[in-house]
Structure 1
Amino acid sequence: MLILNTGGTFNKRYNKINGELEVPYDNYAIEKILESFTSQYSVAGVIYKDSLDIDTNDRKMLTSIIMESVEDTFLIVHGTDTMHESAEFLSTIFTNKKIVFTGSMKPFEIDTIESTLNLGVAIGFLKSLEKYGVYICMNGNVESWDKIEKNRQKGKFELV
């Protein structure tokens, strides 16, 4: 399993100098959570953006990384605002990979529980997954990308 970090709220940290939440160029949040796991996982930081800034070129880069990897199982940590679009994009390309997207509504730095839960559930799901496909893991749910989406009014992901 290869964990690809694209940034998003999951990774955001408060910049004390400018007073803003920023996506840092590191994998700190993921690595900190993985410290409590007994298995080892490879983590690659690939984009480091808020998902509102992720574009087609970024999605093509994800595609290339997945195509060139010897792995067939991927966990993508992604911002929630455009997670669905990225999942849909990859679903049109890959039929022979297991891909799960996860993220969080609050930064790990502010609230460690949601991001830790989502990452843990996603890893557990991927480890037991037998069918290829693209999935989203959020708020305790893991479903095919087209059966779960963000409800912006409620601030959570729901089954559709």
Structure 2
Amino acid sequence: MSVRVFVTGGTFDKEYDELTGTLHFDATHLPEMLRRGRCMIDVSVDVLMMIDSLEMKEAHRLQIVQACQAATESQIVITHGTDTMVDTARVLAAELPDKTIVLTGAMVPYAFGSSDGLFNLGSALSFVQTLPPGVYIAMNGRYFTADNVAKNRNVGVFEETVDSSRDAL
């Protein structure tokens, strides 16, 4: 079993520029994260783009859909910015019903050291191997279906949009 990981940017991969005080993209942290997490599954990583999800347009989402369609793997993890992750998940769900796709991200950049990114990546890799075909978001040890999730910006977490007692595995 092999898992494909597509990188799209987002807070996950942002770096801090001490001179300008801004966040920017350099290179993905995924290979280092997989190494530090001692990942023992066969994972292929492809960088599709390195952008903030607030800058993501329809053409970017189409690029993600096409990459998922072209992937030979049926299990795919996508790193994505949290601001528009739900939008991308819903586009993917409409186009790719036969693959298991899990989107994940981070609220704090991995480079900051106190990031939730490593935990979220590990959760996403586990969920993608165990969930049935469909599109999911994995954050903070929980998974959500693409049609039943929203980012609660007031508390900085993802929540189900319909009341349910189902928790992560």
Same fold (TM over 0.5): yes
Aligned counterpart, 2:160: 159
Does 2:18 align with 1:43? no
Aligned counterpart, 1:95: 97
CA distance in 1: counterparts of 2:66 and 2:160, whole angstroms: 30
TM-score with structure 2 setting the length: 0.88
3-state SS of 1:88 partner: helix
The code of the aligned residue for 1:151 comes to N
The CA deviation at 1:112 is 4.5
Q: Does structure 1 conserve the Cα–Cα contact (< 8 Å) formed by 2:104 and 2:138?
A: yes
- Percent identical residues: 34
Q: Does structure 1 conserve the Cα–Cα contact (< 8 Å) formed by 2:139 and 2:158?
A: yes
Aligned counterpart, 1:55: 57
1:5-154 matches, within 5 Å, as 5-24=7-26, 26-27=27-28, 29-35=29-35, 36-129=38-131, 131-154=132-155
Question: Which runs of no fewer than 5 residues in structure 2 stay unpaired?
Answer: 162-169
**1:96-135: per-residue Cα shift (whole Å, max 9, x none)?**
1110000010000113451011000110111122x21000
3-state SS of 2:30 partner: helix
The code of the aligned residue for 2:142 comes to N
3-state SS of 2:117 partner: helix
3-state SS of 2:122 partner: helix
CA distance in 1: counterparts of 2:25 and 2:134, whole angstroms: 28
Aligned positions, number = 157
Q: Does structure 1 conserve the Cα–Cα contact (< 8 Å) formed by 2:108 and 2:115?
A: no
CA distance in 1: counterparts of 2:159 and 2:97, whole angstroms: 24
Q: Does structure 2 conserve the Cα–Cα contact (< 8 Å) formed by 1:104 and 1:114?
A: yes
Q: Does structure 2 conserve the Cα–Cα contact (< 8 Å) formed by 1:9 and 1:23?
A: no
Distance 1:113 1:16, change over 3 A: closer
Q: Does structure 1 conserve the Cα–Cα contact (< 8 Å) formed by 2:90 and 2:147?
A: yes
3-state SS of 2:41 partner: coil
